[in-house]
Amino acid sequence: MTKKLSLTPYLFLAPALTIIAVFILYPALAVFYYSFTDYNIVQAPKWVGFENYQNLVSDPIFWKALLNSFLYLIVTPILIVLSILLAIAVNRPLPGINAFRALYYVPVISGTIAVGIAWRWLFDYNGGLINGILVGVGILEQPVQWLADPALTLPIAMLLTIWIGLGYYMMVFLAGLQNISEDLYDAAAIDGCNAFQKHWYITIPGLRPQIVFIAVISSLAAIEVFNEIYILTGGLGGILNCGVTMVFYLWRQAFRLQHAGYASAIAMVLLLITLAFSIINIRLLERSGQSQ
């Protein structure tokens, strides 16, 4: 690398930096300002100091949203474990295995909205597929009001996230598995390892970069979940706000109730949480980068 005093690097960076400044940096600063104002997007913001934050602390729905967003993080370890298992399964050289790989990827391609609408029918009270099967087989005597039960809204949304994410993460792990040398497994077999030990001592450490990558991606996606909740609750957040998450509450306050100032305060809390997460994640990434 030669040291050059030219404009070239700045010119190359200029388009990207302009876009990022206008659409990320400026909005972030503006949201910070709005969070101290009474603002409804139409009229000019009015300075109110810390009022929004004070209201936030005494707002039970906000605390519910915060709790729900953290509960949603359960999907990350489940997704990692299930998609590793699935990747191990489709990594076997069985006839027709490519068809299975493609099939598992179909929900990813179809998108949350289309899949979410399909799921709403599945969990429908009368004649949804789930009730139909469970009552038909005799597991349930009566159909269950899946989506009207406050305790079930969040778990069903999580299930949807897992169901969609599984194929995507499986592919990432599959790539990782194919980078692990076959010799390691042969050596382990000679040393008398059983199948479980082989995967525990070779597969898991071998997949470390992918595990870290997916932990980062899926935990951020979980904290910022919106589409699943929106579709499954019809944009209402569920009975007694049982499905309201941080981003859903932000959206509702800003764009349904025109409380943009209050929503900005929610956004700042969201920023603090993702900041904390990102610091942890970057540490992990750096460490896995060094081990490579």
Residue 257 binds another protein (CB under 8 A): no
Kind plus residue range of the DSSP H or E element containing 37: strand 37-38
The answer to whether the CB of 245 falls within 8 A of the CB of 65 is yes
Main-chain phi, psi angles of 46, to 5 degrees: -110, 130
The answer to whether the CB of 167 falls within 8 A of the CB of 105 is yes
Applying CB under 8 A, the span of 57-65, 71-79, 196-204, 217-225 interacting with another protein comes to 217-225
The amino acid that residue 141 corresponds to is E
Among 40, 44, 43, 42, CA closest to 52: 40
Residue 50 binds another protein (CB under 8 A): no
Among 76, 230, 252, 265, binds another protein (CB under 8 A): 230
What sign has the CA pseudo-torsion 218, 222, 225, 229? positive
Main-chain phi, psi angles of 38, to 5 degrees: -95, 115
Applying CB under 8 A, the span of 59-67, 150-158, 182-190, 224-232 interacting with another protein comes to 224-232
Q: How big is the site for another protein, counted in residues (CB under 8 A)?
A: 102
Among 81, 114, 204, 280, binds another protein (CB under 8 A): 114
Residue 284 binds another protein (CB under 8 A): no
Question: Which CB, 54 or 278, lies closer to another protein?
Answer: 278
The amino acid that residue 175 corresponds to is A
The answer to whether the CB of 108 falls within 8 A of the CB of 168 is yes
Binding to another protein in span 9-38, by CB under 8 A: 9-10, 12-13, 15-17, 19-20, 22-28, 30-31, 34
Among 68, 69, 161, 210, binds another protein (CB under 8 A): 210
Binding to another protein in span 148-187, by CB under 8 A: 163, 167-168, 171-172, 174-176, 178-179
The amino acid that residue 229 corresponds to is I
Main-chain phi, psi angles of 147, to 5 degrees: -85, -5
CB of 213 to another protein, least distance (A): 5
Binding to another protein in span 79-108, by CB under 8 A: 86, 89-90, 92, 94, 97, 100-108
Among 118, 180, 236, 284, binds another protein (CB under 8 A): 118
Question: Which CB, 231 or 242, lies closer to another protein?
Answer: 231
DSSP string computed for 245-287: -HHHHHHIIIIIS--HHHHHHHHHHHHHHHHHHHHHHHHHHHH
Among 119, 147, 158, 161, binds another protein (CB under 8 A): 119
